[in-house]
């Protein structure tokens, strides 16, 4: 009987056997493949990120590690499948899906925020907010400016100044669209660069422009926004507007730094921060008002103008001058007479406000937002202001009774008024209404634009858009902006906004950052112990409690 040959395995069985053998071989190398693969992937990623010269090698290493991990996964396919399809696997898969969804959402939020990048100053005093003037200058830069800052970082006295300079110049760089750039140099490690810039005293910042080849040196400390902005203007050849304070008649002193009612040092500093040049002007010495006068401020004069001074000031106003009159009820009558040709009547009475005033002092009206007349940009953003011993500022009676009598070449803009329960009086002792007093509300601030004085009818047939326009702002008080009250509420903004309007710097009118203050968080001993022990024990106990609840619900 012939013998039957054994059946030969078909191709499918042979493939299955090979796969089984391959898995068996890989099984014995599984731990080696996993460890080697992880090390290769992690090492390749680090090399790729940190060592640019080895990026090609890093890619090869990463691909090799990924291959090892794939082979390890093939060898443990059954285990992985059971782990995924089992109960724990489903929980793990759900958790993985949630994590991936969360990562996707966070990624999308980051992408959207990157495309719509916004920065916010969260400090209480808006310490990192640049003024509108500085922002405008930086955004309009048409040449590259570089600042080289020489600091010795190992010195303790340089460390604080370095951080402040870095914060400020970072804002300049950001606002300028990187037209303004900066770098820090240690003169001890790079003395040749210090010699190149002729820097011998440190710390110092040197600005230079590649276009104009100018250099400006700022010696530190301190460093203010105004210092840096002024240096930028000098380097770029921009001209700063000049603000003059009239002197010689007992006006407020812009050099007085004391906390007094006669000093205007803080007002001067505020104008400097708006990037104006600020100087005093004594007409007795100069004899004339300089041609570069952007705004002339007359703040609380105590003595009369001389005849020559009065003539010069009157002619300057007719030629399109811009003046801010801060007059008190006791100011000499000559200054009020200077305003009469422009239709302005300055009273020598004092406003008493029984409804809106500083507590206990009805002679210091307290203006709320509803008190402002928004006819100009000056008061558009103001909050509370107050005016000690303020005088009413009005227009001629015939204009009040009939606005049609106001000449077409002049416009009046009331700025703020007292309340309905107010009156003006000459009686210095009584805050009660008297028979000679005048009921309110009273205007305490007035702005004027005019092509000519109100009685100059010769201008009527010669109105031209190219004619110089006289700008005048009159406020019936000078004390609201003295050193004692300048930083209170919106007093500073009222003064500076008035100057901005007169100088036609309308984009500067804003609510400005307050002075930087050093703020401490104070604790009593009991409060400190609570913060310390709650951070040690409360947070860990809370996490453990939540974990126990989660375990109890899933058990």
The residues, ordered by sequence, that sit 6+ positions from 8 with a Cβ below 8 Å of its Cβ are none
Q: What is the reported pLDDT for 198?
A: 84
328 falls in which pLDDT band (50, 70, 90)? very high
Secondary structure class of 415 (helix, strand, coil): strand
Q: Which residue, among 492, 490, 511, 494, has the nearest Cα to 270 in the 3D structure? A: 492
Determine the Cα–Cα distance for residues 472 and 499; give it in Å rounded to an integer. 10
3 versus 331: the higher-pLDDT residue is 331
Average pLDDT over residues 173-182: 86
Q: CB 123: neighbour CB atoms within 10 A? A: 14
Residue range 59-71: mean pLDDT, rounded: 81
397-449 pLDDT, tens per residue?
888 888 888 888 899 999 999 989 999 998 887 888 888 889 889 999 999 99
pLDDT classification of 461: cutoffs 50, 70, 90: low
CA 408 – CA 278 distance, rounded (Å)? 34
SS3 assignment, position 395: strand
Determine how β-strand 293-299 pairs with β-strand 322-326.
Answer: parallel
390 pLDDT band (50/70/90 cuts)? very high
Report the CATH fold assignment for 132-236.
Glutaredoxin (3.40.30)
User: Terminal CA-to-CA distance of the chain, rounded, Å?
Assistant: 70
Q: Which residues of 43-59 are buried (b: 16+ CB within 10 A; e: fewer)?
A: ebeebbeeeeeeeeebe
Buried b (16+ CB within 10 A) or exposed e, 384-422: ebbbbbbbbbbbbeebeeeeeebbebbebbbbbbbbebb
Q: How many CB atoms lie within 10 A of CB 344?
A: 20
SS3 category, 237: coil
pLDDT for position 163: 84
Segment among 45-49, 117-121, 325-329 with least mean pLDDT: 117-121
Residues shown for the chain: 555
50 contacts 89 by C-beta, under 8 angstroms? no
Q: Which region holds residue 458: left if phi is over 0, alpha if psi is between -120 and 50, else beta? A: alpha
Reference 296, options 274, 285, 280; nearest CA is 280
What are the DSSP calls for 451-473, one per residue? SS-TT-GGGGGG--TTS--EEEE
CA atoms in the 13 A half-sphere facing the CB of 231: 24
Residue 231's nearest CA partner among 218, 246, 245, 244 is 218
Residue 263 · residue 252 · CB < 8 Å: yes
SS (H, E, C) 322-362: EEEEECCCCCCHHHHHHHHHHCEEECCCEEEECCCEECCEE
pLDDT in tens, 507-544: 667 655 555 544 555 555 666 777 777 777 777 777 87
Residue 191's CB is within 10 A of a number of other CB atoms, namely 12
Class of domain 242-508: alpha beta
pLDDT of 316 reads 94
At residue 194, the pLDDT reads 84
pTM, rounded to two decimals: 0.63
Q: Is the pLDDT of residue 475 over 90?
A: yes
Under a CB-based contact definition with an 8 Å cutoff, are residues 393 and 340 in contact? Answer: no
Is residue 297 within 8 Å of residue 335, measured between CB atoms?
Answer: no
Phi/psi class of residue 281: alpha, beta or left (left: φ > 0; alpha: ψ in -120 to 50)? beta
CB 297 within 8 A of CB 324: yes
Cβ atoms of 241 and 463 within 8 Å: the answer is no
Q: pLDDT category, 293, cuts 50, 70, 90?
A: very high
CA separation for the pair 115, 514 (Å, rounded): 31
User: Which SS3 state, helix, strand or coil, does residue 431 take?
Assistant: coil
- Show the CA angle centred on residue 243, arms to residues 239 and 248, nearest 5°: 140
Q: How far apart are CA 475 and CA 326, in angstroms?
A: 5
User: What are the counts of helices (DSSP H) followed by strands (DSSP E) for the chain?
Assistant: 17, 19
């Amino acid at each position: 009987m012939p013998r039957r040959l054994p059946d030969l395995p078909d191709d499918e069985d042979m493939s299955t056997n090979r796969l089984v053998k391959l898995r068996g071989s890989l099984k014995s190398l599984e731990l080696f493949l996993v460890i080697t693969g992880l090390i290769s992937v992690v090492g390749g990623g680090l090399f790729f990120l940190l060592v640019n010269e080895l990026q090609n090698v890093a890619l090869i290493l990463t691909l090799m590690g990924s291959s090892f991990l794939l082979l390890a996964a093939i060898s443990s396919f059954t285990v992985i499948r059971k782990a995924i399809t089992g109960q724990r696997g489903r929980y793990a898969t759900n958790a993985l899906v949630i994590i991936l969804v969360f990562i996707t959402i966070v990624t999308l939020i980051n992408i959207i925020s990157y495309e719509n990048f916004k920065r916010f100053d969260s400090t209480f005093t808006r310490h990192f907010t640049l003024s509108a003037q500085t922002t405008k200058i930086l955004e309009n830069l048409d040449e590259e400016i570089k600042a080289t800052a020489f600091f010795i970082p190992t010195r303790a006295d340089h460390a604080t100044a370095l951080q402040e300079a870095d914060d400020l110049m970072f804002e300049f760089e950001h606002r300028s669209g990187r037209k303004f750039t900066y770098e820090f140099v240690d003169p001890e490690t790079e003395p040749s660069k210090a010699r190149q810039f002729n820097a011998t005293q440190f710390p110092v910042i040197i600005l230079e422009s590649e276009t104009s080849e100018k250099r400006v040196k700022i010696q530190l400390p301190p460093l203010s926004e105004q210092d840096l902005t002024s240096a930028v203007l000098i380097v770029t050849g921009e001209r700063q507007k000049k603000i003059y304070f009239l002197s010689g008649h007992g006006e407020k002193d812009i050099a007085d730094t004391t906390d007094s009612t006669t000093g205007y040092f803080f007002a001067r500093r505020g104008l400097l921060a708006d990037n104006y040049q600020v100087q005093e002007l004594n007409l007795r010495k100069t004899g004339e008002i300089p041609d570069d006068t952007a705004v002339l401020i007359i703040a609380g004069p105590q003595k009369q103008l001389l005849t020559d001074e009065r003539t010069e000031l009157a002619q300057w106003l007719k030629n399109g001058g811009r003046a801010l009159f801060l007059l008190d009820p006791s100011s000499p009558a000559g200054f009020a007479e200077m305003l009469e040709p422009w239709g302005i009547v300055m009273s020598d009475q004092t406003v008493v406000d029984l409804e809106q005033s500083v507590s206990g002092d009805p002679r210091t009206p307290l203006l709320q937002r509803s008190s402002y007349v928004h006819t100009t940009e000056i008061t558009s953003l103001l909050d509370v202001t107050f005016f000690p011993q303020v005088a009413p500022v009005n227009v001629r009676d015939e204009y009040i009774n009939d606005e049609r009598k106001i000449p077409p070449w002049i416009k009046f803009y009331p700025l703020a008024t007292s309340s309905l329960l107010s009156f003006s009086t000459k009686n210095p002792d009584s805050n009660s209404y008297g028979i000679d007093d005048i009921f309110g509300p009273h205007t305490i601030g007035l702005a004027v634009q005019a092509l000519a004085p109100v009685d100059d009818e010769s201008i009527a047939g010669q109105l031209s858009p190219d004619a110089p326009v006289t700008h005048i702002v009159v406020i019936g008080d000078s004390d609201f902006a003295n050193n004692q009250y300048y930083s209170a509420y919106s007093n500073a903004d009222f003064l500076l906004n008035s100057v901005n309007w007169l100088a036609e710097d309308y984009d500067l009118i804003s609510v400005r950052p307050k002075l930087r203050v050093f703020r401490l968080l104070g604790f009593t001993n009991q409060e400190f112990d609570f913060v310390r022990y709650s951070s040690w024990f409360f947070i860990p106990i809370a996490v453990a409690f939540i974990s126990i609840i989660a375990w109890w619900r899933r058990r």
